[in-house]
Amino acid sequence: MDSRDYVRMRYEKRLREGLEDRSGGQDQPIGNFEKFTKGVGRRVMEKQGWKEGKGLGNSQAGIPEALENEGQHPKCKRGFGYHGEKLSSYFVKKAKPDFYISTVYDKPKDIDQGDPLLRRHPKTSMKYRGWLPGGSIGPKR
């Protein structure tokens, strides 16, 4: 719970107790927030037939008060204005598996296993590593 939630809870408690009236948004005319934007949106809406205190649209069924700008939705966890825990903007690289493919030209290492006792080699194991004429294509024809 953050401070906004706490203030909202106190406001709703005061409404239930009758200490606060619901006319908080009607005391301020819609143009208060437009003193910095020069009222461009208000002028466009007035040209379309809007009057202060009425809703928008043909039937004027919309809300008559302007919405308050409260910033981001509490569940939106990115962008300018996010004040929660910092999220990493990059993915953590996975550790590469440690594979080693040896050839005949490499010196044997500790990871090169010898022949297992009393067991067969797996089917993927090379049983003969000598040179053959023709390489992997086969003998010359």
Compute the distance between CA of residue 112 and CA of residue 55 in angstroms, rounded to an integer.
Answer: 79
pLDDT (tens digit, 9 = 90+) per residue, 1-11? Answer: 788 888 888 88
Longest dimension (CA), the chain: 102
Q: Which residues of the chain have pLDDT under 70?
A: 23-38, 66-74, 77-78, 80-84, 87, 109-118, 121, 125-141
pLDDT at 27: 47
Structure-token match 């809870």, residue found: 9
Whether this model's pTM surpasses 0.75: no
For the chain, helix (H) and strand (E) counts, in that order, are 2, 0
What are the residues whose beta carbons fall under 8 Å from the beta carbon of 79, sequence distance 6 or more?
A: 72
pLDDT at 124: 73
